[in-house]
Amino acid sequence: MARRYDSSTTTFSPEGRLHQVEYAIEAINNAGTCVGILAKNGVVMACEKKVTSSLLAPTKTSEKTYKLCDHAACTVAGLTADANILIDQARLRAGRYQYQYVEPIPMEQLVEHVCNYKQAYTQYGGLRPFGVSFLFAGYDTHYGFQLYQSDPSGNYSGWKATVVGANNQAGKSLLKTEYGVTSNKEETKEEMKTNDMKGDDVVEMPDLEGALELAVKVLNKTMDATATSSDKMELFSLTLDDKGECVHKILTADETQKVIDKVEAKAAAAATES
Amino acid sequence: MDTVFGVEYDGGVILAADQANARSILIYQSNLDKITHLSSHSAMGVSGPNADLVNFTEYIAKNLALYELSNDGLKLSTHAQAHFARGELATALRKGPYQVNVLLGGYDISSSKASLYTIDYLAAMTKVHYGCQGYASNFCLSIMDRDWKEGLTKDQAIAIVEKCIKELQVRFLISQPNFIIKCIDKEGVNVIKYGADPADN
């Protein structure tokens, strides 16, 4: 009788795996894609908007992007209901840090807090893990602009560019060849050196425009859609204004369309070239 | 009864305190160091009963050390340290108060600026260019008011502190023969001079 409850969410399998955590990560591979790209002067996050029924009431601010505090935002891939709980946690943590130190919370600490909260559900309580992966974009005075990814296991890492959700492998391979590619075609068209300690010299960060275009390009690849349109994707950017304050911007439909048009024009030009 | 001074100058802060550990009519010790190091580039000059002084300063200092350990060596700015300390004093106020008056000085490497904060025992805090805690303020605040200006050098700041100490030695009823003077700048927290060696026991 006890055997029925053996596949508890928080116990190891004989092979040393946590199945529930792995299934949770799988669940996210069916969710709407999110791309995150670090630019020279900001961070860009682009998401696929899955549900586009005309009967849906228009949302107040956003469907996939959430503001955590003045200097941080996140996008969600996975179960939105689960995400809401974690977003509350993140907002609370950011607020409490600000209350205690009268200073904005460093990005990594915010991410680590959310991840520690997720990790608890893989170790105790007998409750299932959160079926959410996040992309966190933020700015702090210690390390500038940063991009982090976290998954249901509670693991997180910092990225220059990454993809979560459906078809993320295709997105990632595109980023590998295209991120940091400058006009100097010969030396930079190779794949980004991954284990190279001097990797930062080789990779040149795009500017905001370039990052937005690259994000759209990645979404084009990951979305099965035939034609990408501005109502199927949401573009977000985090930058600093001249006073040094963070600006959270969700691009309007027009602005999004302009980026899509630019990407399509460049693709057409490249096609005629070759 | 304790005297603590702080004077900010261009590129650092001078903190000074008397070295007497006394209660009522008895002097327990005359070489106490009342300026506790909080982090590599910040320190707190504290006045009050020795028990609260030690408890409070060690609590804040160790919490700040824990922060650096937990966050891969990330340092808290002086502003954050001061607000943290004040927050702890404020929370304790209506539970089990610390009877300490604090002058917290620090140097921020990232901005190359020094800052000084004064926090009283009721957890009222403000950022200042100079300050005094204790009876000393009656004698010395006016000296600092007159002599402090923007862009002081380290030696000028020390001169102001020594002027204040002399004033106390002439006019203050309680004799305070020993003072310890420390400097916080880009080199860290260093002792400039002391009346009696705190390490001597």
Q: What pLDDT band is residue A226 in, cutting at 50, 70 and 90?
A: low
**Minimum distance, in Å, between the CA of residue A98 and any CA atom of chain B:** 9
Tell whether B79 is within 8 A of chain A (Cβ). Answer: yes
Contact at 8 Å (CB) between B17 and B198? no
**For residues A11-33, average pLDDT:** 90
pLDDT score, position A52:
66
Contact at 8 Å (CB) between B108 and B81? no
CA proximity to A233, closest of A28, A72, A63, A83: A63
Contact at 8 Å (CB) between A179 and A39? no
Instruction: Report how far residue B4's alpha carbon sits from residue B136's, in angstroms, rounded to the nearest whole number.
Output: 8
DSSP states of A3-17 as a string?
A: GGG-S-TTS--TTS-
pLDDT score, position A182:
55
Residue A197: pLDDT over 50: no
Q: What pLDDT band is residue A227 in, cutting at 50, 70 and 90?
A: low
Task: State the complex-level ipTM.
Answer: 0.91
Q: Which two tokens stand for residue B187?
A: 């080199």
**Minimum distance, in Å, between the CA of residue A112 and any CA atom of chain B:** 10
Tell whether B71 is within 8 A of chain A (Cβ). Answer: yes
CB contact under 8 A, A109 and B84: no
Q: CA angle, corner A160, sides to A239 and A36, nearest 5?
A: 65
CB contact under 8 A, A103 and B87: no
Instruction: Report how far residue B116's alpha carbon sits from residue B127's, in angstroms, rounded to the nearest whole number.
Output: 6
Give the total residue count for chain B: 201
pLDDT score, position A7:
62
Q: Which residues of A195-225 are buried (b: 16+ CB within 10 A; e: fewer)?
A: eeeeeeeebbbbebebbbbbbbbbbbbbbee
Total-model pTM:
0.89
**Minimum distance, in Å, between the CA of residue A108 and any CA atom of chain B:** 8
Tell whether B139 is within 8 A of chain A (Cβ). Answer: no
Instruction: Report how far residue B181's alpha carbon sits from residue B170's, in angstroms, rounded to the nearest whole number.
Output: 19
pLDDT score, position B131:
97
Q: What pLDDT band is residue A190 in, cutting at 50, 70 and 90?
A: very low
Contact at 8 Å (CB) between B15 and B57? no
Question: pLDDT per residue over A103-151, tens digit each?
Answer: 999 999 999 999 999 999 888 878 889 999 999 999 999 999 999 999 9
Residues of chain B with pLDDT under 70: none
A210 versus A16: which is more confidently predicted?
A: A210
C-alpha distances out from residue B176 to A252, B16, B18, B130, B173, Å: 70, 12, 6, 21, 9
Among A1-5, A71-75, B88-92, B165-169, which stretch is predicted with the lowest mean pLDDT?
A1-5
The nearest alpha carbon in chain A to B88 belongs to A100
Q: In 3-state terms, what secondary structure has residue B98?
A: coil
pLDDT score, position A59:
72
Instruction: Report how far residue B83's alpha carbon sits from residue B91's, in angstroms, rounded to the nearest whole number.
Output: 12
Residue A195: pLDDT over 80: no
Q: Which two tokens stand for residue B159?
A: 């001169």
Instruction: Report how far residue B63's alpha carbon sits from residue B80's, in angstroms, rounded to the nearest whole number.
Output: 12
pLDDT score, position A193:
45
Measured in whole angstroms, the distance separating CA B33 from the mean position of its chain's CA atoms is: 10
Place of tokens 């009877």: B99
pLDDT score, position A225:
64
CB contact under 8 A, B74 and A141: no
pLDDT score, position A202:
58
Instruction: Report how far residue B192's alpha carbon sits from residue B155's, in angstroms, rounded to the nearest whole number.
Output: 11
pLDDT score, position A50:
80
Residue A86: pLDDT over 90: yes
In chain B, which residues have their Cβ closer than 8 Å to the Cβ of A103?
76-77, 79-80, 83
**Minimum distance, in Å, between the CA of residue A35 and any CA atom of chain B:** 27
**For residues A65-94, average pLDDT:** 96
Instruction: Report how far residue B14's alpha carbon sits from residue B157's, in angstroms, rounded to the nearest whole number.
Output: 7
C-alpha distances out from residue A155 to A17, A43, A65, A84, A85, Å: 15, 21, 21, 19, 18
Among B60, B72, B108, B119, the strongest candidate for a mutation testing the A interface, having the largest count of A CBs within 10 A, is B72
User: With 0-12 CB in 10 A as exposed, 13-18 as middle and 19+ as buried, what is B143?
Assistant: middle
